[in-house]
Amino acid sequence: MSQRHHKNRGHRRNAGSGKRLATAVLLAALLPLAACDTGPVASGRDHTPGWVADGTVELGLKVTGQPMPESLRTTQLVLRHLRDRDADALAGLALDDDRDADGAARRWVEQWGEAAQKQARADFEAADLPRLTVTVRFEGTTEPFELVLDRADGDEFGVVVPAAAGR
């Protein structure tokens, strides 16, 4: 019986060595990953997707048509700024040659700020145009919000601000 007991002890020692070996192999495999860029803490860069970081993910926007990524992005930002009732940020999306961007942004916030609190659907016309109209319909409203976008600076779209009534 003592030999049998001795054999079991040897087996246990070998099993323990196998676990240690497996742990060592796992650690050796993970060590190179520790040196990788794993996020903002390691590199100082934020890898959060833009649509999450800027709050547009919360819009719940439904889209019809075939928007380009840039036109969709600009539309999402306009809707977010309307939802937040942030006329200054909304005016910042206007094309540089729009003289009354601040006034138009305030009018839009006044007219559409409440509706923008609800779900919306954005209908995009043909995708590859230098200027396009996006028709936005907010849940519970009958009148559409017409948004005109223009590619004034290459790929980026800016908002074309409508003239005030009576001008």
- The single-letter code of the amino acid at 112 is W
Whole-number pLDDT of residue 103: 92
Is the CB of residue 119 less than 8 Å from the CB of residue 135?
A: no
- pTM greater than the 0.75 cutoff: no
Summarize pLDDT for 27-66 with one digit per residue, the tens.
Answer: 566 555 555 544 444 555 654 445 444 445 566 788 988 8
How would residue 128 be classed by pLDDT, with cut points 50, 70 and 90?
low
Summarize pLDDT for 82-126 with one digit per residue, the tens.
Answer: 999 999 999 999 987 667 899 999 999 999 999 999 999 999 987
Is the CB of residue 27 less than 8 Å from the CB of residue 21?
A: no
- The single-letter code of the amino acid at 118 is K
Summarize pLDDT for 40-51 with one digit per residue, the tens.
Answer: 445 556 544 454
Tokens (6 digits) for 37: 């860029």
Closest CA to 67 of 123, 2, 117: 123
- The single-letter code of the amino acid at 95 is L
Flag the least confident range among 6-15, 58-67, 152-161. 6-15
Summarize pLDDT for 136-154 with one digit per residue, the tens.
Answer: 999 999 999 999 999 876 7
